[in-house]
Structure 1
Amino acid sequence: MRKILVVAFLLFLQTAVSQKLQLGKVTVEELKEKSHGLDPSAGAAFVFKTGHTSFVYSKDKWLVTTTVKVKIKIYNKNGFEKANQGIAYYVGGGTVEKAFFSDAVTYNLVDGKIEKTKLKTEGEFIENVNDEWKIKKIVLPAVKEGSIIEFSYELISPHITRINDWYFQGDIPVNSAVYTALIPQYFQYRTIITGYEAIDKKTDIVNGAQYAELKTTYSGSNIGAIREESFVNNIKNYTSILKYELASVSKQNGLIENLSQDWSGVTKQIYDDDNFGKQMKLGSYFEEELKQALGNKNSPDERIKAILQFVKTKMTWDGKFGIFCDKGVKKAYTEKTGNVAEINLMLIAMLKYAGIKANPVLLSTKSNGIPSFPNRTVFNYVVAAVEDKQEFILLDATNHNSFFNILPTRTLNWAGRLIRDNGRSEDIDLMPTKVSIDKVSVLASIDESGGVSGKLREQYYDYAAFLFRENNDNLNNQACVVKLEKKFQGIEISNYSLENVKNLESPIIENYSFEHNDLVERIGGKMYLSAMLFFEKKENPFKQEERKFPVDITIPYSDSFSIVINIPKGYEVESLPENMNLIMDGNYGHYSFVISNSLNTIQISSTYTINASLIPSIQYKNLKQFYKMMIDKQNEKIVLNKIK
């Protein structure tokens, strides 16, 4: 009897949970809710989202159907955008997908009663993205603060190789998310769940009349929103997403067709493609011009520099990514324009012609994310790697500011895959390890009225120079002055000059004179000012209490300041900030602040260094505290007292 009662209770619980995940079950209490319990700042939250994917064999082909049901609570105007929903579906290649919305309703509380507003015809439309993709869109009606919106959609696809990613996490909290997949015994899929949230998994075998199915249910609850933060390369890399890839298919004759590959198989397939490997073996189209460009340059470094500059001068990037050539290197060379593959495979071909050991490196750009499975479609970019003894020199001729191991920041996405002539491949680190230096020297004077004037010299090395060139490309000196005066509010700049703008081997040098009348605070007979003048940091970029994913600094760097301040006649130093030497745990960061005075002169030396491209999440609190202590120190005041 007791066993029967336990079973009955469990069935009751299952029924209760199931009812909570059904559309149309909206209560007055839900509509009255003013904010999310775990995230009061949220503009909206998923009350629940459920997904169910199943296969049907019809007319000699398999169809994959995914049905999704969603219930969202809108708390304030920041959540209104959730009234706009869309499903992308594939229409290219003659095998089109179909998408349908249904049960789209908005609920509001009006005079204490629940008011239901259904989606009208004019609230549904189709957006044509390109020849291959469309988006079915809806706009939920009558949405306001406190609303609850519901909808469901169905996606029917003939593409068994592609099961859409399931997002357990997004930019708003998720109270409950459940996804179930019923996979026929003929198909084996590889799965991965990215991110850091706890997702439960349960599997069962379901025996049908014709074939067995593997039923897998994934569920998560109280999943926090994932939002953009400082120093994140691509937030999707850290979002909890379920991804599927078809690994094998069992044929009726009992044979198994393996579809998944390892990285070696993927790169070998790419290399053997005529629009990749073959393109690096062509050379007749550039030989005569390249010979002239090389001239009498004999050393490897000279020849590499000459070839890189030749390609950058000769070719214009058309803005298109890709690892395969669209029109081929020969035609691209003739037309003087090409995609990433055409330009950088051409570069590799020229390096090989000149006797330089060079090979392509496949990678996925930051915007494309980190590859989840070995697959030729995960790469969307290729650069050149010159093997120099035990090191590599990475090159990219699509950007006129790039140089030896100075790649465009879009490519700095952890690791790439180097392919040798025999098709073998290996991982290669893309992240910079050399610290890029930004060095500032200032000679300043304070007058009796509290005005500060002086001269400044700033030197940018390596990636600091690259970023300066990128951010100030095609700007004249006057435009640079305007940018600086906007950055440092209250400053007036004169005698501005730049050195080495086009000389990529040398640091950018910026010189100017300045005046500033808002750096010194005068109270009574005293003057107060920051030792860093207008360079002090004001705000800590790390605001969250915890962080589950690493801090992507991307480029290790060092900001160094040497400042000399002449104080006005009739004043003396009353107090100075204390010296500081901070070393972050694990030596990820170092901050040094040294200040002294002699007669009427104050000398400041301040250096802030981050030594790593990526700082693990376990160090986040240390990094946040490191920043806080540095910022607090930089905002301490020098106090000058009027001599009586």
Structure 2
Amino acid sequence: MKPKFLLTVFTAFIVVCTSNAQDFRLGKVSLQELKEKVHPKDSSAVAAVLFEKAENKLVYNQENGFEIELVVRARIKIYKKGGYDLANKTLRYYLVNNSREKVSFSEVATYNLVDGKIEKTKLKSDGEFDEVINKYWGQKKIVMPNVKEGSVIEYEYVLHSPNIGNPRDWYFQSDIPVNYSEYINSIPEYFVYNTNLKGFISPKVTVEKHNKSLRIDSKVRVSEAGFSATRTNFSSEDIPYTETRTTYLVENMPAIKEESFVNNIRNYTTSLEQELSMTQFPNSMPKMYSTNWDAVVKTIYDYEDFGLELNKTGYFEEDLNQILKGITSVEEKIAVIFTFVKTKVKWNGYHGYSCEEGVRKAYKTGVGNVADINLMLTAMLRYSELNANPVLLSTRSNGISFFPNRTAFNYVISAVETDKGLILMDATEKYSVPNVLPLRDLNWSGRLIRKNGSSEDVDLMPKVNSKEFANVALDVDNHGVINGKVKLYHANHEALRFRQNHIVTNKDAYLESLENKNNNIEINDYVRENELDLAKPIIENYTFKDTKTAEIINNKIYLSPLIFFSLRENPFKQEVREYPVDFGYPIQEKYSITLKIPEGYEVESLPKAMTVDGGENIGMYKFVIGNNNGVIQIVSTSDIYSPIVTPEYYQVLKDFFQKSIEKQNEKIVLKKI
């Protein structure tokens, strides 16, 4: 499931220096903290975590056995208005049956400096909210009172969870600086957890052993000797055990910075992930919990709100029989069914591989979550005698999991196995077509589950280039004014992206943004083709007038060969890249331009043709130019072969873009005859 390079990267840690542990206590905000105007190591920071301390332990109670108790205390400094969002804390909790979790906040307050004195404002009841997200999840939210620039906020929360198999992940690093972050994990000897540290900065780890005991109370009904009456005997037993206390500590953690083309920054953030591997209680055999992906997906398939929903067909059979009349080919069946589901049921925005309303109700009401829609699609494809199966995946926002477990997935799509390979579909996206998944789905790999219980990895990353082609005809007059005509094609994922972003946009607003983006050109005669014909590229046609791109100096006209279509700066500015570059999908951009030389001018110089070969891990850039009877012809083609470029090829990629950009911005020089 996980890419091999991540395993290598995540073990290459840099140890940060730590100092002696400090006594951080809520309610002890200092004048120095309130007076601080900027973060001492990052003046751009809008806020900072002054300290954050978590204690995760397994506690025993007579009724439920061992449960997780997570206690978190935090103090945050707000430097600028951009940090006000940090004054709101939201915590999700699971709602279902015996797995129901409980969350409580306490010690919530905002501190400000008023006339040289510390003013404390406590959270009132109207600043705390408890919301139901769906039937699986709820969330508690606090909105801190009286927050200003310079405020310090504090809070404590406690999470009680019976879900001991997967403790909450802990993030030492954030998008703001973290001065101090400590995670203490206390585990009785009966439990063994797999632990994984992610990121490029390693916490300091200390391990201690402590002798503990738990008390088990019991009662037994016994008969009195020689009498029919009974009495109850109460007894207690203290059972000794060893607890392993592991402390993870980091100090002076820099803010993790977003970089260009990163799918999910949390994949590379310094954090801790755990999974229950084994239990062994006194006088009992060991019980193994660590498993493999096959076992995980089989468990999911057997859920009532997954496999049973997938097997339901009666609610759609009559309608489907009507729309499939006369259709025999695999491709036509797929296209018709896919379109039918997309138009029949609207996505409610909720992720998940478990049906929320159930396929019958979703079909009837026309609204459903991801599972309602895509399990329905799979069932219809199977009913039409296609080899269709669901594919579990983790969206880009959900990240990548290191352990085989049910929470590794948060989404499901549909796949049809054919002689030519898999055809992947996601009917939640109304502008998608088969094998063109929305960007949220393109997260490395998923897991296909067949009826017989077998499963296999599915590569989700597109193999076919998405394309953006432009045919451009230009006329330049002797004043340097450029008049042109453009025909611009968007295909595959580029077409999906365009439709998602612009079909519902007011055309006047879109044209204004297009003019502003392209050096304030003046656009006229704008026409769009194939807006809703999803099988075809979307095409834009327009004419334009450009008075700014060309420059006239000493009777010479200077202009870039790609005019305003050229890239101006390299998106890759870092000297060293720690994260993969994620383009989402392979792409080809091609511009074919004809430029008519104005009367009274001739070519003095042209940029030279050039090819930049980035190799199979990057791509190819070709620039061709020539002058034929007063018409300059230019073809610029950029191919990015791989949707993912690993960090070891970053410098090659950076140089590839730099050379391409420099070539695109060289000047054509026309001189007056």
TM range (shorter): 0.7 to 0.9
Aligned residue in 1 for 2:443: 413
The yes-or-no answer on 1:185 pairing with 2:215 is no
Aligned residue in 2 for 1:159: 162
What is the CA-CA distance between 1:21 and the residue it aligns to? 5.4
Distance (Å, rounded) in 1 between the aligned partners of 2:668 and 2:655: 23
Structure-2 change in CA distance of 1:503 and 1:67 (3 Å): closer
Partners of 2:110 and 2:145 within 8 A in 1:
yes
User: Please, which of 117, 120, 123 is the counterpart of residue 118 of structure 1?
Assistant: 120
User: Please, which of 163, 188, 195 is the counterpart of residue 199 of structure 2?
Assistant: 195
Unaligned runs of 5+ in 1: 1-13
Distance (Å, rounded) in 1 between the aligned partners of 2:336 and 2:97: 44
Aligned residue in 1 for 2:474: 444
User: Please, which of 578, 581, 586 is the counterpart of residue 611 of structure 2?
Assistant: 581
Secondary structure at 2:564 match in 1: coil
The yes-or-no answer on 1:353 pairing with 2:356 is no
Distance (Å, rounded) in 2 between the aligned partners of 1:87 and 1:318: 22
Secondary structure at 1:341 match in 2: helix
User: Please, which of 332, 335, 338 is the counterpart of residue 305 of structure 1?
Assistant: 335
Structure-2 change in CA distance of 1:288 and 1:52 (3 Å): closer
1:351-500 map, 5 Å: 351-389=381-419, 391-474=421-504, 481-500=511-530
The yes-or-no answer on 1:57 pairing with 2:60 is yes
User: Please, which of 288, 311, 319 is the counterpart of residue 289 of structure 1?
Assistant: 319
For 1:118, give the aligned amino acid.
Answer: K
What is the CA-CA distance between 1:550 and the residue it aligns to? 0.8
Partners of 2:391 and 2:448 within 8 A in 1:
yes
Distance (Å, rounded) in 2 between the aligned partners of 1:16 and 1:593: 56
Aligned residue in 2 for 1:128: 130
The more displaced of 354-363 and 67-76 is: 67-76
CA displacement 1:401-430 (0-9 Å, x = unmatched):
222211122211111110011111111011
Aligned residue in 2 for 1:204: 208
CA displacement 1:541-595 (0-9 Å, x = unmatched):
2333332111111111011001111121111222222332212255413222222
1:538-617 map, 5 Å: 538-584=568-614, 586-617=616-647
Aligned residues: 625
Distance (Å, rounded) in 1 between the aligned partners of 2:163 and 2:428: 37
For 1:54, give the aligned amino acid.
Answer: K
Secondary structure at 1:398 match in 2: coil
Aligned residue in 1 for 2:178: 174
CA displacement 1:280-329 (0-9 Å, x = unmatched):
33334333433332233332222222222333333333333322223433
Distance (Å, rounded) in 1 between the aligned partners of 2:32 and 2:316: 74
Secondary structure at 2:262 match in 1: coil
The more displaced of 389-398 and 70-79 is: 70-79
Distance (Å, rounded) in 1 between the aligned partners of 2:74 and 2:566: 48
Structure-2 change in CA distance of 1:44 and 1:585 (3 Å): farther
Structure-2 change in CA distance of 1:550 and 1:123 (3 Å): farther
Distance (Å, rounded) in 2 between the aligned partners of 1:96 and 1:495: 59
Distance (Å, rounded) in 1 between the aligned partners of 2:256 and 2:18: 31
What is the CA-CA distance between 1:117 and the residue it aligns to? 3.6
Distance (Å, rounded) in 1 between the aligned partners of 2:322 and 2:90: 56
Aligned residue in 2 for 1:45: 48
For 1:612, give the aligned amino acid.
Answer: S
What is the CA-CA distance between 1:333 and the residue it aligns to? 2.9
Distance (Å, rounded) in 1 between the aligned partners of 2:555 and 2:320: 71
Distance (Å, rounded) in 2 between the aligned partners of 1:471 and 1:482: 15
Distance (Å, rounded) in 2 between the aligned partners of 1:363 and 1:205: 39
Aligned residue in 1 for 2:263: 233
Aligned residue in 2 for 1:6: none
Partners of 1:328 and 1:342 within 8 A in 2:
yes
Partners of 1:406 and 1:463 within 8 A in 2:
yes
Unaligned runs of 5+ in 2: 1-16, 214-239
Structure-2 change in CA distance of 1:307 and 1:81 (3 Å): closer
Secondary structure at 1:319 match in 2: coil
Secondary structure at 2:332 match in 1: helix
For 1:218, give the aligned amino acid.
Answer: Y
The more displaced of 415-424 and 245-254 is: 245-254
The more displaced of 179-188 and 471-480 is: 471-480
Distance (Å, rounded) in 1 between the aligned partners of 2:146 and 2:37: 20
Structure-2 change in CA distance of 1:20 and 1:73 (3 Å): farther
Distance (Å, rounded) in 2 between the aligned partners of 1:610 and 1:128: 47
For 1:120, give the aligned amino acid.
Answer: K
What is the CA-CA distance between 1:46 and the residue it aligns to? 3.5
What is the CA-CA distance between 1:246 and the residue it aligns to? 3.2
The yes-or-no answer on 1:102 pairing with 2:107 is yes
What is the CA-CA distance between 1:84 and the residue it aligns to? 4.8
Distance (Å, rounded) in 2 between the aligned partners of 1:187 and 1:525: 82
Aligned residue in 1 for 2:254: 224
What is the CA-CA distance between 1:441 and the residue it aligns to? 0.8
Identical residues among aligned pairs (%) = 43
Aligned residue in 2 for 1:11: none
What is the CA-CA distance between 1:532 and the residue it aligns to? 0.9
User: Please, which of 336, 351, 364 is the counterpart of residue 334 of structure 1?
Assistant: 364
CA displacement 1:483-540 (0-9 Å, x = unmatched):
5334324322233333333333322222222222222222231222221112111233
Distance (Å, rounded) in 2 between the aligned partners of 1:550 and 1:391: 27
Distance (Å, rounded) in 2 between the aligned partners of 1:237 and 1:192: 12
Structure-2 change in CA distance of 1:328 and 1:21 (3 Å): closer
Structure-2 change in CA distance of 1:32 and 1:329 (3 Å): closer
Distance (Å, rounded) in 2 between the aligned partners of 1:637 and 1:16: 57
For 1:130, give the aligned amino acid.
Answer: V
CA RMSD of aligned residues (A): 3.3
Distance (Å, rounded) in 1 between the aligned partners of 2:94 and 2:662: 54
Distance (Å, rounded) in 2 between the aligned partners of 1:348 and 1:354: 10
Structure-2 change in CA distance of 1:579 and 1:30 (3 Å): farther
1:530-545 map, 5 Å: 530-545=560-575
TM (norm. structure 1) is 0.87
What is the CA-CA distance between 1:337 and the residue it aligns to? 3.6
For 2:142, give the aligned amino acid.
Answer: K
Distance (Å, rounded) in 1 between the aligned partners of 2:376 and 2:347: 12
CA displacement 1:241-280 (0-9 Å, x = unmatched):
2123334444455244444432111211221223322333
TM (norm. structure 2) is 0.84
Partners of 1:126 and 1:134 within 8 A in 2:
no
Partners of 1:329 and 1:346 within 8 A in 2:
yes
What is the CA-CA distance between 1:104 and the residue it aligns to? 5.2
Partners of 2:31 and 2:118 within 8 A in 1:
no
Partners of 2:461 and 2:585 within 8 A in 1:
yes
Partners of 2:193 and 2:275 within 8 A in 1:
yes
For 1:206, give the aligned amino acid.
Answer: H
Secondary structure at 2:588 match in 1: strand
Distance (Å, rounded) in 1 between the aligned partners of 2:143 and 2:431: 44
Structure-2 change in CA distance of 1:37 and 1:618 (3 Å): farther
The more displaced of 157-166 and 64-73 is: 64-73
Secondary structure at 2:202 match in 1: coil
What is the CA-CA distance between 1:383 and the residue it aligns to? 1.4
Structure-2 change in CA distance of 1:184 and 1:332 (3 Å): same
The more displaced of 369-378 and 518-527 is: 369-378
Distance (Å, rounded) in 1 between the aligned partners of 2:87 and 2:377: 49
